[in-house]
């Protein structure tokens, strides 16, 4: 996975100062952000109070939600258009993994951070998401790098959608769930 991330970082840092985005670099960057948040949670979970743990958990869930939306709405449909049957099966497996991750996100969001299984639930979520991201970077990214996929065009659409998702106001149900995680009413 480190090789794919280094290549993605190079693609982001070389020749793209004009606002263009490489789809694989954007996803690798998102994967890195998720992994960093997960490591931060693991490092601080024993010493952190429930509010701090809850905030970190919600940040992880939010990053995974945005990442999943980008993949389902933009990246995977574009990838499916250029992949052969083996590549399409790989994307199908990744979609099934995303469904399992989504269920864990819902579980974490419906738990208070002081529940006994909160840390374990978030640890399993981070582990499953990490393995899925590694598989994606190791197996899917190289195939797409050498395909006919317009990585710049897909990257631009993903960057635009990320901005929309990141700046959308939270609705009441999201706020209620966040209060539950943080231990409030």
**Cβ-contact 104, 38 below 8 angstroms:** no
Q: Where are the domains of the chain?
A: 2-9+22-182
Instruction: Please name the residues in contact with 21: beta carbons below 8 A apart, sequence gap of 6 or more.
Output: 12, 152, 155, 156, 158, 159
User: Which pLDDT does position 138 carry in this prediction?
Assistant: 96
Top mean pLDDT of 4-8, 9-13, 102-106 is at 102-106
User: Which pLDDT does position 161 carry in this prediction?
Assistant: 96
User: Which pLDDT does position 169 carry in this prediction?
Assistant: 84
The band of 184, judged by pLDDT with boundaries at 50, 70 and 90, is low
Copy the structure tokens of residue 96: 């099934």
pLDDT tens for 129-153 read 999 999 999 999 999 998 989 999 9
Output the pTM of the full model. 0.83
Question: Nearest CA to 34 among 141, 145, 111, 122?
Answer: 122
pLDDT tens for 31-42 read 999 999 999 999
Task: Please determine, for residue 5, whether its predicted confidence score (pLDDT) is greater than 50.
Answer: no
User: Which pLDDT does position 59 carry in this prediction?
Assistant: 94
User: Which pLDDT does position 154 carry in this prediction?
Assistant: 97
pLDDT tens for 11-33 read 444 334 445 689 999 999 999 99
SS3 162: helix
Distance CA 21, CA 58 (A): 27
The band of 182, judged by pLDDT with boundaries at 50, 70 and 90, is confident
Average predicted confidence (pLDDT) for the chain: 87
Instruction: Please name the residues in contact with 136: beta carbons below 8 A apart, sequence gap of 6 or more.
Output: 27, 31, 94
Q: Is the dihedral of CA 170, 175, 181, 182 positive or negative?
A: positive
Residue range 158-171: mean pLDDT, rounded: 90
């Amino acid at each position: 996975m480190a090789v794919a991330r280094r290549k993605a970082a190079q693609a982001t840092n070389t020749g793209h100062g004009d606002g263009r985005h490489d789809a694989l670099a954007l996803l690798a960057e998102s994967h890195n952000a998720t992994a960093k948040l997960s490591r931060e949670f693991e490092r601080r979970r024993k010493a952190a109070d429930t509010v701090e743990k809850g905030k970190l958990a919600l940040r992880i869930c939010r990053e995974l939600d945005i990442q999943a939306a980008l993949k389902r709405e933009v990246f995977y449909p574009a990838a499916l258009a250029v992949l052969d049957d083996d590549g399409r099966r790989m994307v199908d497996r990744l979609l099934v993994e995303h469904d399992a991750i989504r269920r864990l996100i819902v579980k974490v969001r419906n738990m208070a951070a002081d529940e006994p299984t909160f840390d374990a639930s978030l640890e399993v979520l981070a582990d499953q998401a990490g393995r899925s991201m590694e598989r994606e970077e190791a197996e899917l990214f190289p195939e797409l790098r050498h395909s006919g996929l317009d990585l710049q065009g897909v990257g631009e659409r993903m960057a635009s959608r990320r901005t929309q998702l990141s700046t959308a106001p939270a609705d009441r149900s999201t706020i209620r769930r966040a209060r539950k995680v943080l231990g409030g009413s």
